[in-house]
């Protein structure tokens, strides 16, 4: 036992867990804890971001590349609440981040001290953040803090990952007590599959042996479980086509002959064609969200239930996800890598292996791959190829991504947040795990740039490029100061269309081309991003011709420091976006009668049918 202050308890726990960075903004509510880190700056570097939201995003990006959590610190009240968006993005996408927030002294709770939220309950910030974290803690003593921190790390890194939050009273930070030395909670090997899961593995093996057109739908859980090799081995043994969600993108080499690109609302014609015609789908680490399932419209992305005869095998570490959105024929609760390896082993024991390159199904996959860019985007899109090859000035977003892929290394990390930058990255091929970083579930504006800073800290040897729209960038662009101060050499590619154009395109596509509102701003009054970036000390330039993109990005990559390339992109509808081949449930106002009728017809095809709304 050693006498330690609360701050020292936090410091020693982070040292035991080998956390290299403590990220945040100081305030009066956290200074006692922060003081304890003065003696450990050679082992834990304190990084000062310019907004608490960015601190969580930075830690999120670091985790997605390294698989290891960082710690975030913030003061009481508004500082803690500023982490909410970051925690939401982390929680929805299942990433591990520890947030340490100062809070009111235990003996002053309820008095309304500076920045306390107390009208309903004393020191009540944890109640606000509770839905956004896997676990939250309110230690009242040094010994409780010691126990809570160990629990926080175990919760973050076992099972389905997620962020944790510790509300740390100011007196608990400063006062001392005897506590044990911290023992690291380093993640053990994943828990072995249960007997029930192994029984279900046998059922899955039989379904795959009998399948003629198997498809594997791989989500972000594959990457979280480091299951990429297990996925590759199973795909090649069965000859199954592999399609990915936005979060799963990169978990399977996108130049592999079995790769079928993406499924869902913003997927590809080949991905949806493969999944709607599959006789067996093995879903791994995917939640079947509305974007993945085309809002569950029957026959659009999947052929389950009344829409077809597809059998579903679902693997997920979280039992709540099994059967949540689609009934399963076989559900396997457990680690993705372990479950995939068990299925492959079962197929091997049964002597099942497919010479996929000589099969008729493989030939069909290749035919679909070759024809996928010929599918028309009904109503508003030209062929994908036209956008990708367009010589229009300013550049289309798909053409920009084509040029970017030519410049980057195979293992370069590309980070996106939302809007057209995120939607169009589905057409950008990734080849290595943990190189596609995106706020898929929360689609969080402001996420990409600070997350890219975290990615670069985790993999300094790799090229890291944040591709961001102008509206997105302005939410966290102050982190250019962080990049400059700490020499975090991330390249920002700013796709500037002077507005919220993914929303404008949605309005025009769904409501009518004359119904865009509240979505753009005057080009002459928009910020000069090149001048702003230079003011922060970045190298910066602007281009708009497709032929100039590669050279500009190459200059940014070669620069010894953070940099920004503004790429002005097409604003004319429908060439401002990307291909959409699925369906998304965007309710149409009743007064748009013709469009509303079409919408209601599509909504009636949701499977299983949604419950009727109740009216008072």
Quote the pLDDT of residue 612. 63
Same domain, 388 and 361: no
Q: What is the CATH number of the domain that holds 132?
A: 3.40.50.970
Q: Is 493 helix (H, G, I), strand (E, B) or coil?
A: strand
Q: Which domain holds residue 271?
A: 195-373
Most confident of 91-100, 249-258, 570-579: 91-100
Q: What is the DSSP string of 158-177?
A: SSS---EEEEEEHHHHH-EE
The H-assigned helical ranges of 249-381 are 269-277, 336-349, 360-371
- pLDDT band for position 269 (cuts 50, 70, 90): confident
Report the chain's terminal Cα–Cα distance, integer Å: 62
Give the Cα separation of 52 and 451 in Å (integer). 13
* 512-533 confidence digits (pLDDT tens): 999 999 988 888 899 999 999 9
Q: In this structure, are residues 275 and 218 in contact, taking their beta carbons and an 8 Å threshold?
A: no
Same domain, 337 and 428: no
* 364-375 confidence digits (pLDDT tens): 666 655 443 233
HSE, CB side, 13 Å, CA atoms: give it for residue 228. Answer: 16
Q: Does residue 597 lie in a domain region?
A: no
Residue 575 confidence (pLDDT) above 90: no
DSSP state, residue 63: H
Q: In this structure, are residues 249 and 426 in contact, taking their beta carbons and an 8 Å threshold?
A: yes
167-181, 402-416, 499-513, 569-583 — which is least confidently predicted? 569-583
Same domain, 522 and 385: yes
* 317-349 confidence digits (pLDDT tens): 999 999 999 999 999 999 999 999 999 999 999
Same domain, 229 and 361: yes
Give the Cα separation of 365 and 241 in Å (integer). 7
Quote the pLDDT of residue 380. 30
- Boundary (domain end) residue, out of 179, 206, 229: 179
Q: In this structure, are residues 223 and 317 in contact, taking their beta carbons and an 8 Å threshold?
A: no
CA dihedral 437, 442, 443, 444 (to 10 degrees): -90
Listed in sequence order, the residues at least 6 apart from 452 whose beta carbon sits closer than 8 Å to its beta carbon are 61, 413, 415, 437, 464, 465, 466, 490, 492
Q: What is the 3-state secondary structure (H, E, C) of 555-570?
A: HHHHCCCCEEEEEEEC
Length of the chain measured in residues? 616
280-289, 438-447, 574-583 — which is least confidently predicted? 574-583
Q: Does residue 329 lie in a domain region?
A: yes
Work out the widest C-alpha separation in the chain, in whole angstroms.
Answer: 75
Same domain, 404 and 533: yes
Q: From 580, 579, 547, select the one nearest 392 (Cα to Cα).
A: 547
Residue with tokens 């970017």: 404
HSE, CB side, 13 Å, CA atoms: give it for residue 588. Answer: 21
Domains: count for the chain: 3
Same domain, 344 and 401: no
Give the Cα separation of 607 and 300 in Å (integer). 11
Q: Does residue 187 lie in a domain region?
A: no
Q: Does residue 573 lie in a domain region?
A: no
Same domain, 267 and 170: no
397 phi and psi, to 5 degrees? -70, -45
């Amino acid at each position: 036992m050693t006498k330690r202050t609360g701050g020292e308890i936090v410091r020693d726990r982070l040292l035991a867990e080998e956390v290299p960075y403590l990220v945040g903004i100081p305030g009066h509510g956290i200074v006692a804890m922060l003081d304890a880190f003065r003696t450990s700056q050679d082992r834990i570097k304190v990084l000062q971001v310019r907004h608490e939201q960015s601190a969580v995003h930075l830690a999120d990006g670091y985790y997605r590349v390294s698989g290891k959590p960082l710690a975030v610190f913030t003061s009481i009240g508004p500082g803690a609440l500023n982490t909410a968006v970051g925690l939401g993005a982390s929680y929805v996408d299942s990433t591990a981040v520890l947030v340490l927030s100062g809070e009111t002294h235990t003996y002053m709770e309820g008095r309304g001290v500076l920045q306390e939220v107390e009208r309903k309950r004393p020191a009540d910030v944890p109640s606000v953040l509770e839905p956004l974290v896997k676990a939250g803690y309110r230690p009242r003593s040094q010994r409780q803090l010691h126990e809570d921190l160990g629990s926080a790390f175990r919760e973050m890194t076992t099972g389905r990952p997620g962020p944790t939050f510790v509300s740390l009273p100011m007196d608990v930070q400063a006062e001392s007590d005897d506590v044990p030395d911290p023992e690291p909670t380093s993640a053990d090997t994943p828990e072995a599959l249960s007997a029930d899961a192994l029984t279900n593995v046998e059922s899955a093996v039989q379904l795959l042996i009998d399948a003629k057109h198997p498809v594997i739908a791989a989500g972000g859980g594959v990457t979280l479980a480091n299951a990429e090799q297990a996925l590759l081995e199973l795909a090649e043994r069965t000859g199954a086509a592999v399609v990915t969600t936005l979060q799963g993108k990169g978990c399977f080499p996108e130049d592999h002959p079995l790769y079928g690109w993406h499924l869902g609302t913003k997927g590809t014609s080949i991905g949806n064609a493969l999944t709607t015609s599959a006789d067996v789908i093995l879903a791994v680490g995917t939640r079947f969200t509305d974007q993945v399932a085309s809002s569950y419209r029957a026959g659009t992305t999947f052929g389950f239930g009344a829409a077809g005869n597809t059998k579903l095998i679902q693997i997920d570490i979280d039992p709540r996800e099994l059967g949540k959105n689609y009934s399963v024929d076989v559900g396997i609760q457990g680690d993705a890598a372990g479950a995939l390896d068990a299925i492959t082993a079962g197929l091997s024991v049964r002597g099942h292996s497919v010479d996929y390159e000589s099969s008729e199904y493989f030939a069909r996959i290749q035919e679909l791959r070759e024809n996928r860019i010929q599918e028309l985007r009904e109503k508003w899109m030209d062929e994908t190829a036209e956008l990708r090859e367009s010589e229009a000035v300013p550049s289309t977003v798909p053409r920009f991504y084509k040029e970017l892929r030519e410049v980057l290394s195979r293992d370069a990390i590309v980070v996106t947040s939302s809007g057209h930058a995120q939607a169009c990255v589905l057409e950008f091929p990734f080849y290595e795990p943990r190189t596609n970083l995106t706020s898929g579930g929360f689609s969080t504006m402001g996420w990409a740039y600070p997350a890219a800073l975290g990615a670069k800290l985790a993999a300094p040897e790799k090229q890291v490029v944040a591709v961001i729209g102008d509206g997105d960038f302005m939410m966290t662009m102050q982190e250019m100061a962080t990049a400059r101060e700490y020499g975090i050499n991330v390249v920002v590619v700013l796709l500037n269309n002077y507005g919220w154009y993914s929303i404008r395109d949605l309005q025009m596509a769904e409501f009518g081309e004359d119904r865009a509102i509240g979505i753009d701003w005057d080009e002459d009054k928009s910020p000069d991003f090149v001048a702003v970036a230079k003011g922060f000390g970045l190298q910066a330039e602007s281009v708009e011709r497709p032929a100039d993109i590669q050279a500009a990005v190459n200059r940014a990559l070669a620069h010894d420091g953070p940099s920004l390339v503004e790429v002005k992109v097409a604003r004319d509808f429908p060439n401002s976006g990307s291909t959409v081949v699925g369906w998304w449930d965007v309710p149409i106002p009743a007064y748009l009668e013709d469009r509303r009728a079409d919408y209601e017809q599509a909504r009636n095809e949701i499977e299983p049918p949604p419950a009727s709304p109740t009216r008072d």
